[in-house]
Amino acid sequence: MRNHLQQFATATVIVAALIFSGCSFSLLPGSDSVIGGDPRPDPGSEPGASPSPDPGSDPSQPGPGHIVPLTDGFDFPVGDRNGKGWGVTGYGFLEWSNYSGTWHPGEDWNMYGSPMADLGKPVYAVANGIVRFSGFNSTQGNIIMVEHHLPDGSTVWSQYAHLQQRWVAEGEIVGRRQIIGTVGRGPNNTFSPHLHFEIRIKYLPQNGWPRTNGQAWPKSKVLEYYADPTVFINSHRPET
Ligand SMILES: [Zn+2]
């Protein structure tokens, strides 16, 4: 327990140091489809901050009193547990996005049918975990980030963006298939309704995006931090 507390305290000190040193992470827009599927100019301002993700700043150690349930498999974030009725009809994983000038680090999920059909539909936690971020980001809208602890000892994060509503708060334990929010359109209805969904395999802050000082990360670096969501889920399906 003492070691556990020390780890937590260390992480807290590092995070505080980063905050007080003025270190900021990139807060950049997602690349996203709009109605009709055509990219639109980037409405967000680029702060020019470096994401410089530092492994030492990973606050993934749960605080005292938090018992994060291990994952028992992953389901899809929309539709039924297999994603039925939905598909990645917007930007796919590692597709080049002119909208953001980066490799798209996730998948844009839409419901088949009317472009507006997605709006307000439930978004589900893909696996058991703990909510690490639930808040608003001026370029991506409402975001939820859930941290997942796998039985093999690894940790991954699922990220859900452009939500209309957020139903969970930071620190909350969530279960697989728990509704955590609803599909939205991003800030100021920027986008056609869809879910921007990521699986991160290395810690990034909630507003992380794969570029540094305006330069898109190469694919090889994107792959250090992000997994192909559909491939990841399909290789981690629950037994039942
Ligand atoms: Zn997207």
Task: Please report, in tens digits, the pLDDT of each residue of the chain (240 residues total).
Answer: 444 444 544 444 444 333 333 333 333 333 343 333 333 333 332 333 334 344 344 555 555 556 899 999 999 999 999 999 999 999 999 999 999 999 999 999 999 999 999 999 999 999 999 999 999 999 999 999 999 999 999 999 999 999 999 999 999 999 999 999 999 999 999 999 999 999 999 999 999 999 999 999 999 999 999 999 999 999 999 997
φ, ψ for residue 146, nearest 5 deg = -115, 135
pLDDT, residue 240, reads 76
Nearest residue to 36 (alpha-carbon basis) of 116, 125, 155: 116
Instruction: Report the DSSP beta bridge partners of residue 149.
Output: 70, 155
Spell out a b/e string for 159-198, using b for 16 or more CB atoms within 10 Å of the CB, else e. bbbbbbebbbeeebbbebbbebbbbbbbbeebbbbbbbbb
C-alpha of residue 216 to centroid of ligand 1, in Å: 15
C-alpha of residue 21 to centroid of ligand 1, in Å: 31
Helices (H), 22-147: none
Q: Is residue 45 exposed (0-12), middle (13-18) or buried (19+ Cβ within 10 Å)? A: exposed
**Is there a contact between 162 and 58 (Cβ–Cβ < 8 Å)?**
no
Q: Which domains does the chain have, with CATH numbers?
A: 40-234 (2.70.70.10)
Q: Which residues surround ligand 1, an ion (CB under 5 A)?
A: 30, 32, 108, 196
Q: Could you count the other beta carbons within 10 Å of the beta carbon of residue 12?
A: 13
C-alpha of residue 140 to centroid of ligand 1, in Å: 9
C-alpha of residue 228 to centroid of ligand 1, in Å: 13
Quote the pTM value: 0.76
HSE on the CB side for 228, CA within 13 Å?
11
C-alpha of residue 1 to centroid of ligand 1, in Å: 40
Q: Could you count the other beta carbons within 10 Å of the beta carbon of residue 136?
A: 11
C-alpha of residue 12 to centroid of ligand 1, in Å: 31
Q: Could you count the other beta carbons within 10 Å of the beta carbon of residue 123?
A: 25
C-alpha of residue 194 to centroid of ligand 1, in Å: 8
Over the stretch 176-208, which tens digit does the pLDDT of each residue have? 999 999 999 999 999 999 999 999 999 999 999
